[in-house]
A = this chain, B = another copy of it.
Amino acid sequence: MIAPLPELADVEAAALRLDGVVRQTPLLESDALNELVGGRLLCKAECLQRTGSFKLRGAYNAISQLDGQPVVAFSSGNHAQGVAAAAKLLGVPATIVMPADAPAIKIANTRALGAEIRLYDREREVREDIGAEIAGRTGAALVKPYDDARIIAGQGTVGLEAAAQLRTVGTTVDAALLPCGGGGLIAGCGIALAAAFPEAAIVAVEPQGFDDTARSLAAGERLANATGAGSFCDALLAPMPGELTFALNRRRLAGGLAVSDAEVARAMALAFSHLKVVVEPGGAVALAAVLSGRFAAHGRTVLVVLSGGNVDPALFARVLQA
């Protein structure tokens, strides 16, 4: 028995809570990229969101319903910044449990937002345990990264906003590709996008070695990733689909695709050259799926979500010089 699943009304209610807090991020388009794939790509640039990713949406939607309770969260970086920023905006203390090997920019930005940071060793400690221990000791509410109806509804506002922008320009889409880690972003957006574009294929894109959602969708049950795989998509390394996110995603998703680090790096470089935005590895997987041809965009109009832009300058420089 799992908690009630969020519905369209929950995403719409989240959008009202987020009004004036998050930015309406643009739908970017490049004539050169369109020519490259022979179709039309509309890129929802959540890398331009406050905190540099979509994560503020879910965090604020959840924390604003807690009546001032302190919060604790575990995250490799983007959820950390989202929770820290939301807590700061709402005036509540936040403790963030982060892996010591998270990108320096994400740790620094989270600290700059006023959160207390607890670093842990990814090999020897379990972040869920640390988060639960802090919650038990301090009375803080645990703000989960994805498997929570309020988080999912908040992330879904990306899809609600994109659908409204597409309606404004009179465009429908044949498909929507979204990055997928634990599945919160695509689960929430799936609610909004399926309502707006019932015919569109909604596709999860994951890093190779972390394609738990793709395999789980194919198998009809939640499967974990094998341990030991590596990817530079640090934002998308969740071990397996969430209960709530998988229950939503198995209902609405057309399937999942996996992309290589090299394909992701090329997508980041093409986003630099043609879209002029900074996209982090995990934020670029959906674009990589289209630009690599793993998803055939020829003759189609495709919504692509660029979910974040928090990448260390040194890594970005290496990607540009490859």
CB within 8 Å of B: which residues of A? 23, 25-26, 28-29, 31-32, 47-48, 50, 52, 85, 105, 109, 112, 269, 272-273, 275-279, 309, 313-314, 316-318, 320-321
Closest CB-CB distance, A280 to chain B, in whole Å?
9
Q: How many copies does the complex hold?
A: 2
Question: Which residues of B sit under 8 angstroms from A316, Cβ to Cβ?
Answer: 272, 317, 320
Interface centre among A50, A105, A316, A318 (most CB of B within 10 A): A316
> Hey, which chain B residues are within 8 Å of A48, CB to CB?
26, 28, 275-277
User: Do the beta carbons of B105 and A273 come within 8 Å of each other?
Assistant: yes
A-B contact sample (19 more), CB < 8 A, given A47-B276, A313-B321: A23-B26, A23-B29, A26-B26, A26-B48, A31-B85, A52-B276, A105-B273, A269-B313, A276-B277, A276-B278, A276-B279, A277-B277, A278-B278, A314-B321, A316-B320, A317-B317, A317-B318, A317-B320, A317-B321
Say what secondary structure dominates the interface of chain A.
helix
With a cutoff of 8 Å between Cβ atoms, the chain B residues found around residue A23 in the complex are: 26, 29
Which residues of chain B are within 8 angstroms of A47 by Cβ–Cβ distance? Answer: 276
Tell me the minimal C-beta distance from A321 to chain B in angstroms: 5
Cα A318 to Cα B320 with chains together (Å): 10
Q: Which of A23, A25, A32, A273 has the most CB of B within 10 A?
A: A273
Complexed CA–CA distance, A266 and B238 (Å): 35
Q: When A28-B48, A105-B273 are in contact, do A320 and B309 touch as well, CB less than 8 Å?
A: no
**Least distance between A34 CB and chain B CB atoms (Å):** 11
- In the complex, A26→B275 CA distance in Å? 13
Q: What are 26 sample pairs from A and B whose C-beta atoms fall under 8 A apart?
A: A23-B29, A26-B26, A26-B48, A28-B48, A31-B50, A32-B112, A48-B275, A48-B276, A48-B277, A105-B273, A269-B313, A272-B313, A272-B316, A273-B313, A276-B278, A276-B279, A276-B309, A277-B277, A277-B278, A314-B320, A314-B321, A316-B317, A316-B320, A317-B317, A317-B318, A317-B321
